[in-house]
Amino acid sequence: MSGHSKWHQIRRKKAVTDTRRGKMFTQIIKEITIASRMGGGNPDGNPRLRLAIEKAKAGNMPADNIKRAIMKGTGELPGMAYEDVTYEAYGPGGVALIIECVTDNKTRTVSEIRHILDRNHGKLAQAGAVAYQFQRKGIVSIPKSEMSEDDLLALALEAGADDLKSDEDTYTVYTSSDRFDEVRKAVDARNIKIDHSELQQIPDTAVKAEGKDAELVMKLMEVLEEHDDVQHVFSNFDIDEKLMASFSQ
């Protein structure tokens, strides 16, 4: 499992405070709104919206909030005009960063992201400077208690998945971005519990970060993830798992 994927898993298992819960709701509402604007308000024909709604329900977001976000996206209710924007950057120790945002003001967002990077030993990069080091893939995480590895692998490959990896208590199915929705549907059809699923930027190779650089990278990740416009931060760092876990406590 890549360093960033392990960081993400550790952060998800961490107890969610009221502040983090509010941030999560803000992220999901923005995602629902922009997904509805781009692909329509029917989740059956809009995979991005369907995934956002599933995340909202998993986070116990009220149904009325979900409905209003969809209606704002389709124009049935007034609301902010959100758009996707992605920034590429370098962090401490030369690690690569891809920062995915949803914003109603790109000028403000890029200024604030640049400020965060400058204050935390990072810097913005030109478009394409680091993106070539990543591949956009779908990940579907399933508890090992749900089924055997062989059975899951057979199911996933038949649905078009690329690979399956496992850690202590979870299987992670990897798919191409265009097969992600089909693989998730195949798992759902078998009533298999999905712990987590999303599209991620997966690095081709990792950059080892140790000592002070490792601490600075984790601090930068945390500050970026707390910004209201930031939806996801992906990186190619490789940091000791125990250090990541201790930092996230």
- pLDDT mean over 99-122: 96
- pLDDT mean over 148-169: 91
Find where tokens 């969809």 sit: 70
**Residues near 104 by Cβ (< 8 Å), separated by ≥ 6?**
80, 81, 82, 83
Angle between helices 180-189 and 149-159 (to 10 degrees): 130
> Which pair of structure tokens corresponds to residue 73?
């996206």
96 pLDDT band, cuts 50/70/90, is very high
pLDDT at 10: 64
pLDDT at 6: 67
Coil, strand, or helix at residue 87? strand
State how far the alpha carbon of 122 is from the alpha carbons of 1, 38, 89, 114, 142, in Å: 24, 32, 7, 9, 34
Sheet containing 83-90: order of strands: 123-125, 83-90, 96-103, 230-235
Rounded to a whole number of angstroms, the distance between the first and last alpha carbons of the chain is 20
- pLDDT mean over 62-73: 92
d(CA 147, CA 83): 39
Which domains, and CATH codes, for the chain? Answer: 83-132+206-248 (3.30.70.980)
pLDDT at 208: 92
pLDDT at 168: 80
d(CA 159, CA 171): 16
d(CA 51, CA 35): 10
- pLDDT mean over 17-39: 81
The DSSP secondary-structure symbol of 247 reads H
pLDDT score of 24 more than 90? no
Tell me the percentage of the chain whose pLDDT exceeds 70: 90
pLDDT score of 135 more than 70? yes
Q: Which residue has the higher pLDDT, 15 or 105?
A: 105
> Which pair of structure tokens corresponds to residue 205?
């190779």
pLDDT score of 17 more than 80? no
pLDDT score of 27 more than 50? yes
To the nearest 10°, the Cα dihedral for 3, 198, 175, 74? -150
- DSSP bridge pairs for 199: 138
- pLDDT mean over 86-90: 97
pLDDT score of 1 more than 70? no
pTM, two decimal places = 0.86
pLDDT at 162: 94
